[in-house]
Amino acid sequence: MKSAPVASSRTFYVDPIRGTDAGNGSVERPWRNLQRIIDAKLVGSQFAETPIYQYWIARILGTQPTARIYDNPDSIVGDGDTILLATGDYGPLNLRGIINRAPITISGAPGANARFSQILMEGTAHFAFKDFEVSSKAWATGTRHLVNMRPEPRARRSNGISFSGLRVGGQDSIANLTPEQWAKNSNNGFLMFGDCLNIDKSKVHDVHIGVSLYHVTKALVSNNEIHDYSVDGIDFSGNDIVIRNNVIRDHWPTGDALHPDCMQGQSTPHNPTFGPVLIEHNVCLSDTSARHSKRLQGINIFDGKWVDVKVECNFVRPTIAHGISMYGVNSATIANNIVIGWPDAPTAPWISSMPSKEGRYPVANLITNNQSTAYLNAVHGAPFPHAEMIKNLRVNMNDPQILQMLSVPISGVRLVKNEWLSPAWDLSGDTRFKPLQRPTYNAIISVEQAKADLAALPGCAS
């Protein structure tokens, strides 16, 4: 394989149909196989490798292996360059250990339909991916993520990775598969692990989990659409996380063991404290056509230690229970959200701030200017008997954890100027609530209607 002449901010071409292994990456003589030129170390200004003895020491000690970084003398495609992909199937893409000082862009050419079956990274730095598809009928390797930045537990963190305009998901529609077929053939979308990561203007569809942010730092997930999923839309953990202006819609019950959420912060008591997190201007709809979702919950943090979490200006329509819930979070703000349910659901979705499972109470939590079908924290301090308030909440009377939390007032939480949609009692004497401005939703809601209703809220106009 020969290279094109060296230049600054150059463009190289790959064409799996018209290209050849003897090409030079020019538009006239494109390369045929992208992975082959990567394996030949023609892509990337540096590379990281772990000596085998350090790998085995780390494995024995249960630590992360140390990598050595080397300059890449064979590099042809380097800092600031672009690789354009013609229409065709490219198979899996493995970029482990490739490091750049400025992003290399890998993009579908204008009008092209380029497809990878999986993207694998670990210890990778400064790549930008644009305008192509990642999909597979078979199980993706590792954790079954089609875009996987943590293929094994000891994977090194990646840095400076962005995705824009990608189409990631299954080749079979979840709506047309039985639970048995879905369990056999389905994958997850993105698994992000590292620092300075970005997913923008992409579509994720027909997956278990749409996007997982695992112990990330400085991550932005914005302007994406996640639809037709069976577990969670977005999972997140880490620091400096922004989840903004995404649409997550149409959940399908396929028998997955985990309870499904539109978004869920995931941690354990042994993890460090995570935050800040900003979740704003998102639309979560369990169904946008005929009803099929049964157990979907909304935007929630149930486990671990969190600080400075803001959930603002979101439209959340789950199927049951938790609309927006924060457990044991310090300095949380839940403001200007719309949380509604379905009239035939067993519970009305609620907003709540509750103690963590380890018994840690929330600190400095504010719930304000929301419109919701229920507020768990309102059962104490209301001008009605406590038992009557719990009864009218329509909570699961067989859930000992919820009943335990509702038995005593929860300190560290303030309710200010919220609206209670279609309450079963007169709230005019409860100063924590303001007069109802909006009727209850009963029918199917479109994404466009949800966005319009959000934009009409004070403080939520984009």
Residues 6+ apart with CB under 8 A from 238: 213, 214, 215, 216, 217, 219, 274
Q: Taken in order 375, 376, 382, 387, is the CA torsion positive or negative? A: positive
Q: What is the mean pLDDT of the chain?
A: 91
Question: Could you report the per-residue pLDDT of 90-108, keeping only the tens digit for each?
Answer: 999 999 999 999 999 999 9
Q: What is the pTM assigned to this prediction?
A: 0.94
pLDDT at 111: 98
d(CA 375, CA 360): 20
Say which residues have a Cβ less than 8 Å from residue 434's Cβ, sequence separation at least 6.
417, 418, 419
Asked whether residue 293 carries a pLDDT value surpassing 70, the answer given is yes
Ranges 68-82, 226-240, 251-265: which has the least confidence: 251-265
Query: pLDDT digit string (tens) for 195-232?
Result: 999 999 999 999 999 999 999 999 999 999 999 999 99
Residues 218/196, Cβ–Cβ less than 8 Å: yes
Nearest to 210 by CA among 196, 230, 184: 230
Q: Is there a contact between 44 and 98 (Cβ–Cβ < 8 Å)?
A: yes
Query: For the chain, first and last CA: distance in Å?
Result: 50
Provide mean pLDDT across the span 383-406: 76
* pLDDT at position 280 over 60: yes
Of the two residues 324 and 48, the one the predictor is more confident about is 324
- The per-residue pLDDT for 91 is 97
Q: What is the pLDDT of residues 111-134, one digit of tens each?
A: 999 999 999 999 999 999 999 999
Lowest mean pLDDT among 274-278, 370-374, 437-441: 437-441
Q: What mean pLDDT is predicted for residues 436-444?
A: 75
| Cα 336 from chain centre | 21
pLDDT (0 to 100) of residue 5: 40
* pLDDT-wise least confident of 10-14, 35-39, 248-252, 377-381: 377-381
Mean pLDDT (whole number) for 275-295: 94
Residue ranges of domains in the chain, CATH in brackets: 11-455 (2.160.20)
Q: State residue 1's pLDDT score.
A: 46
β 68-71/46-49 pair status: antiparallel
Min mean pLDDT across 232-241, 412-421, 428-437 is at 428-437
**Can you point out the beta strands (E) in 322-401?**
322-327, 329-335, 338-339, 350-354, 365-368, 371-372
For residue 130, list its beta bridge partners.
107, 164
The arithmetic mean of pLDDT across residues 301-325, rounded, is 96
118, 146 Cβ separation under 8 angstroms: yes
Residues 6+ apart with CB under 8 A from 208: 144, 186, 187, 188, 229, 230, 231, 256
| pLDDT at 2 exceeding the cut of 70 | no
DSSP letter string, 379-439: GSS-SS-HHHHHHHHT--TT-HHHHHHHTS--TTEEEESBEESS-SS--TT-TTB----SP
